[in-house]
Amino acid sequence: MSTTTVSLGDGAAERAARAAGVEVRPVDDLDELREMVALFSTIWGTPPLTTELLRAFSKAGDFVGGAFDEGRLVGGCVGFFGPPAHHAMHSHIAGVAASARRRHVGFALKALQREWALARDVATVEWTFDPLVARNAHVNVVKLAADPVQYLPDFYGPMGDAINGGDATDRLLVRWDLVSPEAERACAGIPRRVDLARLVADGAGVALGVGSRGEPVAADGPTDSPVTLVAVPRDVEALRVTEPALAREWRTAVREALGRLLDDSGRVVGFDASVGYVVRR
């Protein structure tokens, strides 16, 4: 069993782990790396990483972190370093067992990753996520206060795993400034919030809304409002199974609306499931 430890810095990771009822720590033990590959395989339906690659990442000094519930691995997160001059890390994959979801295990893993990175003079962590998945948008933009900075159409190409289901792999690239006041507050349990009532009262524009049958409804033309809303489906993963054509319709609509806004120097400043992304020009 590995005994690797890491400084917990301001204690955010320890507090988050305690709240989630897990232990979070770096993983370099071979048997635990095999467990992580098995866990990822149950989540994605196919192994997105191999034990050999995780072993190499760990030996090279990259981040391989796990969440354990009474000694059983229930979550994993893997990241590797970017160009040396950038003092940055790319967080490639994170996943939590179905039995441990809704306990904020993923949040605890990201808090661990933040403290691990800061201890190594890394100030920024980047990763990608599917912009259509509302719960991931909530975690990344609200709970972690990470900033979407680029829309990447079909970034990975076709992926036929259980999560992506053959859909185009559009991704949002997010940048997490680990020492920003927002990130510090977020890891202390104070999420990023937006005042929706005020946004609406101030005339926020709607680039993409939701129609009566749950379909995306694009604005007739570009809005000149300084704040624009871009909706996403409530549960795109379910749509990919029950109404794949509608899921593809959402993919195209969000790509056009959100991608155009980010290309036009828009900045995502919040997310709310009822209205989607909040973008400020």
- Six-digit token pair at 16? 């988050």
In order along its 281 residues, the chain shows pLDDT tens digits of: 333 333 445 689 999 999 999 999 999 999 999 999 999 999 999 889 999 999 999 999 999 999 999 999 999 999 999 888 788 999 999 999 999 999 999 999 999 999 999 999 999 999 999 999 999 999 999 999 999 999 999 999 977 666 766 778 999 999 999 999 999 999 999 999 988 888 888 889 999 999 999 999 998 766 778 899 999 999 998 999 899 999 999 999 999 999 999 999 999 999 999 999 999 98
Q: Which domains does the chain have, with CATH numbers?
A: 12-187 (3.40.630.30), 196-280 (no CATH)
Could you give the CA distance from residue 136 to residue 138 in angstroms, rounded to a whole number?
Answer: 5
DSSP reduced 3-state for 107: helix
CA distance 144 to 188: 10
C-alpha span between 276 and 142 (Å, rounded)? 12
Residue 104: partners with Cβ closer than 8 Å, 6 or more residues away = 16, 19, 20
74: nearest Cα among 28, 42, 113, 30 = 42
